[in-house]
Structure formats: structure tokens, C-alpha cells
A and B are shown apart, each in its own frame.
Chain A
Amino acid sequence: MEKVIVIGNGMVGYKFCEKLRAKASKEEISLTVYGEEPLPAYDRVHLSEYFESQSEDKLLMAPRAWYEENDVTLKTSQLITNIDRSTKTISTHTGESESYDYLVLATGSSAMVPPIKGVDKKGVFVYRTIEDLDQIIEYSKNVKTGAVLGGGLLGLEAAKALMDLNLETKVIEFAPKLMPRQLDEAGSNMLKSKIESLGIEILLNKNTKEIHGNGKLDQLEFTDGTSLETEMLVISCGIVSRDELAKTCGLETGTRGGFIVNEQMQTNDPAIYAIGEAANYNGMVYGLVAPGYDMAETVVDQLIGDQTKQFSGADMSTKLKLIGVDVGSFGDALGQTEGAIPIAFEDKNSGVYKRINLSPDKKKLLGGILVGDAKDYSMLLQIAQNGMAVPPNPEDLILGARGAGGGNTMMDLPDSAQICSCENVTKADIVSCIKDDGVTDLKQVRTCTKAGTGCGACSPMVADIFGATLKSMGQVVRKTLCAHFDYTRQELYSLIKIKEIKSFNELLNQYGSGDGCETCKPAVASLLASIWNDQILKQDTIQDTNDRFLANIQKGGSYSVVPRIPGGEIPPDKLIVIGQVAKKYDLYTKITGGQRIDLFGARLNDLPKIWRELIDAGMESGHAYGKSLRTVKSCVGSTWCRYGLHDSVSFAIEIENRYKGLRSPHKLKGAVSGCRRECAEAQGKDFGLIATEAGYNLYVCGNGGANPQHAKLLAGDIDEKTAIKYIDRFLMFYIRTAEPLNRTAVWLNKLEGGIDYLKEVVVNDCLGLGEELEKDMQALIAAYHCEWKAAIENEDMKKKFSHFANSEDDDPTLEFVPMREMKKPADWD
């Protein structure tokens, strides 16, 4: 048995363990890994997500138990300080030592800190470890301004993080452009204006001379004589390999750092390997995970005696993530190949810049840049990496095929195309898992090949290949609801309507199989409600839990109460009742992001009593629990505002009351702004109206949420009546055709022909459906009833709101703890 020790338990060190254990058992190779950090290896690539979740567990590459189960001895909080090559032993900072047959250095790198006077002041941070982030979060609580030194990939990610911590954020770049190594000037300018529009200021051509401040920094001084006040600084100027161990044992390192390795990842001592950001291959240190994983695989093959795999360099293509601006740069992005022919497209209006570089014979794609729209990134990268033929009009690659003739599709890729670079999965691997192993669902493709389990960037491609492969096998890929219904949502919509089906069981008996599940039941419930607008509590057990109890469930099992406040307008008397009710039932109250008031922490048994009081005071359900219309936000408009063009509040109230209670595939939000200053954020809503001199501009299919998307103009300068007509048609068309849980923005992205087609349908009535859609909407509006009113008036329904069936008691496990002047649910673990 051979004994392998890994120094460094980072992403690559961990991946090495995983890959080694997949090929060699503990009887063949014993494996110990030392890590300096207190945590087992975590996902540094997604480090910024820590700001949101503050959960270390979510980031772990594998829990501690994994190491045990896989016979890997893990020693964390242990810094290796010495390697004795003559006795083949290593020793730790606590004086322990251990011998090895083979040593793998996976010590990664640390942030490079330039030797600027004053960098040691308080308030200066780097961005590399969870501990760094903890410190940044803590410090940010007491300051208002922050700056990032370095406008590269990581610097921009750090800037977004500072902005999310509510700091006024600036980025300082030494070079005359952002992401200087990946972007050309035009691309960088476009990126700059996009990032500035997010509210981050960018300073270019700034060389920092000194960091000033008494103990903690308060100002940066630049060599051009200017200066910048800031209370906090995050340095992101690149990385330096952690090769300090080389000094104690005479391993060779590169002039710019890193243990020098050959194709087998061996250092000048054949028993010692280096991988990941600690390795210097051919004068290069690769600051990306994919090459690191490739190196890990190379060493594993060496150790098990399979000499075939060699490392031969890697591609530095990258995509910027997280910041909300699409940026991709691949291959020879700057066109530095001799004779390269660039083709570029720039649209300052929508903020898109695309560039590709062709080989001198125009047959091959060398590389390129995408800013503002990077959805073709994966496809272009594949074409470049695989040397695939470029179409006769190469500009189609960035402009799309205009006119007849198809572009490249997934199935044109060669089998060897690497789809998932994190896990090195090729197209052939995915296709074979579908064809040979008979895998029929996408989740299984992930489990079976591991594709998409790393950074996730390839997920859309994996899905496309999956779809295309099934199609090539003669299987039609339809987005059927689930195992119980072999129909799409749109097909079920028609069936329910034509056959006048009124209940889930009726539909399941006639068109489904089995007993249904948590996917199809709520989807069908939503369809039934969208078509008949009947009382949903008549079939309460097919509703999602929030719908079932007409309230949103909270941690601990209490519920929230949200009365409708149309347009955000509320007279004092109603406001007082809300306050009184909250006091009486000990509810936590909060103004929501939707211009209304949420009362949290209601016990299930109290819900009917609470609603009785609110309804008696003239209020009704706000449907905060439903996939239905939530709010129509308004700004104060022409009644009070000096810029207001029309009475946006009255119009918002009219619209909210019109569509309240309307059930749809996902929730719906609207807004009306009184002028183009847009204080109601109408362009971030499923439908939004902005007053113009001549009437209103109607925008559709925007949303905030996880993937924010601006709404698109459907019709300009229309009057109120026309606006309502178009919204009726638009909403009904969406309700009829969308897949379950697709917001309007997602639906539009999938709609063939996009917004132009939608205009044809809604405005020009190209399908001749206009009148029918309006009629359907009218029927739904006529069937509106306040669900809560119906519930409290019916004794049978009221009975559903008790925690025990055989006792009047409250849930004894429901626990609240005081917070400020109110309460909150006890934390769950």
C-alpha cells in the first residue's frame, strides 16, 4: 500500500481526493489531506453566495462525513510548515509530522496585495476565504462607502457584493479599461456603462499611491494627484501561488510564483506533485477551477499507474457571473493571432456588444467577446474549441441567422466536445447515458454523468443535448406535467375547458394515472381556478399549502395575513383596524415590498377570527398566498406630484380591482407610474404602465426576483380603455399557453417570435383570438369573490382551520421569541 498526503484542502485538493477514491481503495492507497482552514474544502467559485445565505454548509464541497465514509483522513486547521524530502516527511505548525510516499501540493494561492503604503490599515480586506467575507460583512455594518481595487473578473464580483451590503461602491482600475485581459476597448466600455447603471462607479487609469487614515483608512491617494474618500477597501489585484514551502525544501518555483511542474504535474522531485493554483505549468498559473481539476485527474492517473493522461495547458475562457450583466470572453478574445479577422456588433441602445475573431482563412473561430447578451457563449466556445466549421456568413454567429437556413445546433457538435468543463463531461458521455443507459429524465443525466453539478454554467446545454438526443431517438420531448399526466399544461387547459372538467379526480380518472402528486395537484388546481374561478377551498387538498389555508405558511407553522390595499392607498380608518387586529392577535407587522402591510405569526385557529374583523372593516383577501394577482403598485401621480402626467393612483386601483383573484401559472404583479421617472417601477412588473403626454406606454413581461428582467414595450401612447383591452388579452393568452410556474418573463423568453409575435397577437390580433380572450377575462372577473369572505361564512370551511382534529388546543410546539417591540418565530436548525 502506498501512502499519499495532500497539502491543502481547497477545491482542487478535494477534487483530487474524490477522483482518487473513485479509482483506488484504501487497501491500494492510503490518503491523508491537511488543510489550513478550519472548514473542510468549500466552493470558492460560489463564495459570493455566502453573502446571501451566510451558510457554510451550503458551500461545502462535501460534508466531513464524506471523508470518513471514503477513507480519507482529513486534518483541518493544520498548516504544513516543512517538507523534509530526504526522509519523505512533512511537519505541521504544531510540531506533528507524518511520512509519505507521494506528496501532492494543492496549496492554492492567496490574494495579491500590492506594496502600497498604508495597506495594513484597518478597513482594508482581501476576497478569498469565508473568513475574509465574515470580516467584510462585520466591518460593512458600520460604514457607508466602499471601494474595490482592481476591475478584473473578481474585482467586479466583489463590487457587486459590496453594493449588496448597501455600500456606495466604487471600482478602481489601474488600466484604461475593465477586465483588461478579457475585453477589448469597446466591450469594456459597454460593460462599464452597464455596471455604472447598477449604481457602481468606475474609476479607470488610477494608480493608487497611498492609503491614508488614522489607524483605519479613510482616503486613497492616486499618483495623478486626485484622491477618493472611502471607509473600506477590498483588494482584488490578482493572485499569488502559495509556494512558501518551496523555500524550506528546495523545490523549483517560477519567477512569478508557483511550483514548476511538467506534463505529469511532477515538481523537480518526482515524488512530489503540485496541482491547482499552486502549480506553474509552462510559465502559467491557472486561476480557474477547471484546469485544476484536470491536473488532479492527471496525478490520480499517475498514482494508479495509468500514464496516458497528461496535462497540456488549458483554456482561459470565462463568463462573468452574479453581477447581473452578461459577459463572456473565450479563446483568443482580443484577436491577437496573426492575421485574425474581427467581426463586431455594437448596439448601444440595448447595451449589447459582440465580437468574434476568425482565422485568416475565415474558416475557424478563434475566440470572441460577448457583453450584455452571452446566451450564445457556450455554443461559440464549443465551435472555437472544436475547430468546427464556421457558417458561410460568419456574422450569423453573433447576429443569428437572418432569413432562411438553420444555424448551429447542439447536435452539430462533435462527440468529443467538452460540455461540462468542471467535471470534464463530453457530449458523447451525455448522449451515451441517454441512449445506452436508457436515462429518460434530466435529473438522472446529472446524477449519471455529473454534468452540471459544478459551477452549473453548462446546465442549459445539458438540457438542450438531452432534448435533442431524445428527439433524435424518435421520442417527442413534450413538457408533460409529471408522471401522472402525459399532457402539457396547455393541452390540459384545453381538455378541462372543452370537456368542462371541474375537479382534479375527474381529470385524473379520464386523462391521468396513479394518484397524483405535489407537482400535478397544484398545477391542475391552478388551471381549474384560471378556467372556472370557482372557490378553491372546495378542493382544498389539491392546493399548495398556502392556497389551502389562504395564507402563507411561515417557519414554525404559523401563517401571515395580507389584506388587499389596491394601489397602495389606504385610508386612516382601515390602517387603524389593521393595527388593532395586529395588537389583539399579537402579530408582527411589516410594510412589504409590494406597498402593503403583512401581519405575520398568526396561529392557524386564529386566521378565521382575524379575517372576520378585517372583512367587517371593509377589507378583503390580498391573495399573497396565491399564484395570482398580487399588487398593482402606484406612484402618487398627478394628484400630488409636480411632474405627474395622469392620475396613476386611480388607474392602479382600477386595474388592481379588475384583476384581483385572477389565478395564473405564476404570480402576477403590475404597476402604474405617473411619468417616465418611473417611481412605481412599472418596467419591473408582469405588466406596467407609464404615463406619457398622450396616454400610457404599456410594458409587459418584466420581473424582479431571482433573474430580473426589464419589461418590454407592447404598445405606446394608448388610452386607458385600450390599455385595459390589451392587458386582458395579454394575461389570458399567457394563462392559456404558459408552462406551470413560468412567470411572464420566462414565458416570453420561450415564446417563438418573442415580443414581436406577442404584439401581433395582442395588438394586431393576428390569431383572431382578441375578442375571445377578452370574453374569457370578463367571465373570470364576473366570478370574483373574496376567498376569505367565503371561508368565514361557511362553517364547514371554517373547521379546516384548527391544528388538532380532536382538540381545541393550539400547537404546543409553536414557539415565538421577542424581537425589538414585536416577536418572531424561534429559529429552526
Chain B
Amino acid sequence: MSDTISYKTVTPEEVNTWFEACAVSDFPSDGGLNISYQGLQIAVFNFTRRNEWFATQNLCPHKKQMILSRGMIGSDGNEPKVACPFHKKTFSLKTGENLNGDECAIATYPVKVENSKVYVGFA
């Protein structure tokens, strides 16, 4: 099931669909939500402190759990990161790289906010 779907990083240049995920007001501050897009589960994070938005796959590569949107965000040096709630593996929100171990990287997606709506970019 979950592991047959593959998540692939989308760069801003590659975007051809901007999917309207939900309203800014739906989001907790400094926290994430999970959205459903064509069978994919995408974690979107509202990093209020930095006034930045990020999106990654919701699947944690460690034990293949659909969970990252419920993770805690923060920073490691200047790198914004999310910590998986299960075993606290942390991933860069910018590059998707695992910061405290050797899990494989997670896919990241571009996010834009227009008219108080949050859009995630897909290729």
C-alpha cells in the first residue's frame, strides 16, 4: 500500500500544477497539516516564526509511517527541520535530508500562498 506509492521531490521549475490544499487559517502556527492529492499524502508546514512554508511527503521512511505532518518543527543551526513523532528522526524541510542518522531523504514540494490559500506544487 503505502510503500508502493513513490514520492519524488518536485523543484519549483518542474511545477506544472499548483494544487489548492487549504486555507492559511486552517493551519496551526508553527505546525503542519496533512493533505491528500491523487493518492499521495503530503505534509504541509506553516513555519510561522520564519514566515516560511514547506511541504514534504507525509511518509516517514524509517518505519514507513504516515505521520510527518504530526511532527514537531524547529531548526538545527539555520536548517529548518521536522522531527518524526515516532522515533524522532529529523529531516531538513529544505532538502529532505535525514539530519540525525542514515535514513533515506524525504521528497519535498514547493508551496506558495496566494489570497490566504495554500498551494502545493506538483509536476
Contact = CB atoms under 8 A, between A and B. Distances in A.
B99 to A, nearest CB: 10
Interface stretch (A22-30, A425-433, A648-656, A802-810): A802-810
B18 interface: no
Nearest to B33: A805
Given A515-B73, A799-B26, 8 more contacts: A515-B47, A515-B80, A516-B74, A518-B88, A521-B74, A804-B35, A805-B27, A829-B64
A514 B75 contact: yes
A57 to B, nearest CB: 14
A161 interface: no
Given A803-B34, A807-B36, A829 B63 contact: yes
Interface stretch (A190-198, A232-240, A461-469, A542-550): A542-550
Query: Main secondary structure on chain A at its contact with chain B?
Result: loop
User: What 8 pairs across the A-B complex have the smallest Cβ distances?
Assistant: A541-B31, A545-B85, A517-B74, A518-B83, A805-B33, A515-B75, A813-B2, A828-B63
A521 B81 CA distance: 13
B39 to A, nearest CB: 8
A225 interface: no
Contact of B49 (A515, A812, A815): A515
Interface of A: 483-484, 505, 508, 514-518, 520-522, 540-542, 544-545, 548-549, 553, 555-557, 799-800, 803-807, 809, 811-815, 828-829
B72 A541 contact: yes
A804 B47 CA distance: 19
B22 A800 contact: no
B14 interface: no
Interface residues of B, number: 40
B11 interface: no
A813 B66 contact: yes
Interface string B75-114: 1111011010110101000000000000000000000000
Contacts of B72: 517-518, 521-522, 541-542, 544-545
Given A517-B74, A545-B85, A806 B63 contact: no
A254 to B, nearest CB: 44
Given A828-B63, A828-B65, A517 B70 contact: no
A620 to B, nearest CB: 24
18 contacts: A483-B76, A505-B30, A517-B83, A518-B72, A518-B74, A541-B73, A800-B28, A804-B35, A805-B22, A805-B33, A805-B34, A806-B36, A807-B36, A809-B36, A812-B1, A813-B1, A813-B66, A814-B66
Interface string B24-54: 0011111101111000010010010110000
B10 interface: no
B21 A541 contact: no
Contacts of A805: 21-22, 26-27, 33-35, 44
* Residue among B72, B81, B83, B86 facing the most chain A CB atoms (10 A cut-off): B72
A522 B73 CA distance: 12
Contacts of A803: 34
Contacts of A516: 49, 74-75
A28 B33 CA distance: 55
Nearest to B28: A541
A803 B34 CA distance: 7
A806 B22 contact: yes
A498 B115 CA distance: 41
A78 B73 CA distance: 50
A515 B50 contact: yes
B28 A540 contact: yes
A549 B70 contact: yes
A508 B29 CA distance: 15
Contacts of B70: 545, 548-549, 553
A20 B2 CA distance: 43
